[in-house]
């Protein structure tokens, strides 16, 4: 099942890490930027726009051999009073005979708050299938989950949760709107997400800014880095140390994710992006024109 876990890893850490951003000096932060995602109930989008698309390539390392096994694509659509976020991923067709993965995450969020209205997860991993549609009741602090092996046999269960809880995709885009310029390296901050019938209270450690970071295939970037707490036993090892690098500019693009998992280790690397709202000013000129960067060099 490790290929399916790799695809899942490409989505989960994006929200776990980016939601750490908070300023320790509230008076210096514009009113529309909240302090951290855990208490966020009203967010104005200042970062992404309709048509943004990010494609991530998933590398898996087993016994010192790096394999490129799949991709995940994130898209944004403006539907008027709401946004549609999607993250669709799967293994390459060459791997399908061994283990086929086609997973879809979709979230429809309120445009004024970036809080989810509904979200749908469709999982197809080998012989395993799952359909899970979440409906968020803000006023009563409830989440209704229509969940089953398929949509036709899914049953509704209601859960108590925080009124400001995010799903896996809304947190990604909400967190990219948070201010982190004045954070201190070493700070920990809490976050909460709802996934797989539970509310997960986690924390994130901000590591600081790192210049001229190599991103395979894209060049060098000025970045910020952080270590989200992982859900132990869910995907990751007990001692996993997840690290995320994001662009240090107005777009706050997640660039690379690296972590050991229960078997081997994984890197999720931004392959391409388009439709971004601002110039990608975090990108810097490579030290050597045409320099080829291997997955083994990432993270050094």
Lowest mean pLDDT of 31-35, 40-44, 140-144, name the range. Answer: 31-35
Q: Measured between alpha carbons, how far is residue 198 from residues 85, 126, 166 in Å?
A: 21, 25, 12
**Structure tokens belonging to residue 93:** 């067709």
**What is the three-class DSSP state of 263?**
coil
Those residues whose C-beta lies under 8 Å from the C-beta of residue 80, and which sit 6 or more positions away, are 111
- Whether the per-residue pLDDT at 147 is higher than 50: the answer is yes
Nearest-angstrom CA–CA distance, 122 and 90: 12
Q: Dump pLDDT digits (tens) for 248-258.
A: 999 999 999 87
Q: Across residues 48-61, what is the average pLDDT?
A: 91
Q: Of 118 and 26, which is predicted with more confidence?
A: 118
Nearest-angstrom CA–CA distance, 237 and 25: 35
Closest Cα partner for 87 from 95, 96, 76, 78?
76
Of all helices (H) and strands (E), which one includes residue 265?
strand 265-274
Nearest-angstrom CA–CA distance, 167 and 161: 12
Q: Dump pLDDT digits (tens) for 186-239.
A: 887 777 788 888 888 777 788 889 999 999 899 999 998 888 765 554 444 444
Nearest-angstrom CA–CA distance, 34 and 26: 9
Nearest-angstrom CA–CA distance, 178 and 161: 23
**What is the three-class DSSP state of 261?**
coil
- Whether the per-residue pLDDT at 134 is higher than 60: the answer is yes
Q: Across residues 116-122, what is the average pLDDT?
A: 95
Closest Cα partner for 76 from 215, 177, 157, 202?
177
Lowest mean pLDDT of 48-52, 178-182, 252-256, 259-263, name the range. Answer: 259-263
Nearest-angstrom CA–CA distance, 150 and 227: 35
> What is the pLDDT confidence band of residue 178, given thresholds at 50, 70 and 90?
confident
List, as one string, the DSSP characters of 219-242: EEEEEEEEEEPP-BTTTB-TT---
Rounded to 10 deg, the angle between the 168-175 and 2-18 helix axes is 40
What pLDDT score does 146 carry?
97
What pLDDT score does 230 carry?
59
What pLDDT score does 25 carry?
28
Nearest-angstrom CA–CA distance, 268 and 217: 13
Q: Measured between alpha carbons, how far is residue 15 from residues 85, 153, 166 in Å?
A: 13, 30, 10
How many Cβ atoms from other residues are within 10 Å of residue 228's Cβ? 26
Q: Dump pLDDT digits (tens) for 3-29.
A: 344 444 444 443 333 333 322 223 333
Q: What are the backbone angles phi and psi of residue 104, rounded to the nearest 5°?
A: -130, 130
**What is the three-class DSSP state of 19?**
coil
Lowest mean pLDDT of 48-52, 144-148, 250-254, 262-266, name the range. Answer: 262-266
**Structure tokens belonging to residue 3:** 């290929």
Rounded percentage of the chain residues whose pLDDT exceeds 90: 38
Q: Across residues 97-123, what is the average pLDDT?
A: 91
The C-alpha R_g of the chain, in whole angstroms, comes to 18
> What is the pLDDT confidence band of residue 267, given thresholds at 50, 70 and 90?
confident
**Structure tokens belonging to residue 23:** 């300023």
For the chain, what is the mean pLDDT?
A: 77
CA angle in degrees (0–180, nearest 5) for 197-169-28? 115
What pLDDT score does 231 carry?
55
- Whether the per-residue pLDDT at 92 is higher than 70: the answer is yes
- Whether the per-residue pLDDT at 285 is higher than 80: the answer is no
């Amino acid at each position: 099942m490790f290929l399916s876990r790799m695809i899942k890893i490409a989505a989960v850490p994006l929200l776990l890490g980016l939601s750490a951003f908070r300023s320790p000096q509230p008076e210096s932060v514009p009113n529309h930027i909240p302090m951290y995602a855990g208490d966020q109930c009203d967010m104005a989008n200042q970062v992404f726009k309709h048509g943004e698309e990010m494609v991530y390539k998933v590398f898996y390392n087993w016994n010192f051999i790096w394999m490129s096994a799949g991709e995940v694509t994130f898209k944004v659509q403006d539907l008027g009073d709401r946004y549609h976020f999607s993250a669709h991923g799967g293994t390459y067709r060459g791997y399908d005979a061994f283990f086929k993965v086609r997973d879809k995450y979709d979230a429809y969020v309120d445009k004024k708050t970036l809080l989810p209205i509904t979200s749908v997860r469709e999982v197809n991993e080998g012989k395993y299938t799952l359909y899970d549609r979440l409906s968020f009741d803000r006023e009563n602090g409830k989440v209704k989950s229509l969940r089953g092996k398929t949509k036709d046999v899914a049953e509704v269960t209601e859960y108590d949760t925080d009124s400001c809880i995010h799903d896996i995709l809304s947190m990604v885009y909400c967190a990219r709107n948070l201010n982190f310029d004045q954070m201190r390296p070493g700070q920990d901050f809490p976050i909460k997400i709802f996934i797989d019938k539970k509310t997960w209270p986690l924390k994130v450690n901000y590591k600081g800014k790192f210049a001229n970071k190599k991103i395979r295939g894209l060049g060098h970037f000025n970045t910020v880095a952080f270590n989200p707490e992982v859900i132990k036993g869910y995907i990751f090892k007990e001692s996993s140390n997840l690290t995320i690098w994001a662009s240090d500019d107005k777009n706050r693009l997640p660039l690379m994710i690296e972590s050991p998992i229960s078997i081997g280790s994984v890197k999720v690397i931004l392959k391409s992006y388009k439709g971004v709202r601002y110039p990608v000013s975090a990108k810097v000129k490579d030290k050597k024109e045409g320099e080829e960067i291997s997955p083994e060099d990432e993270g050094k």
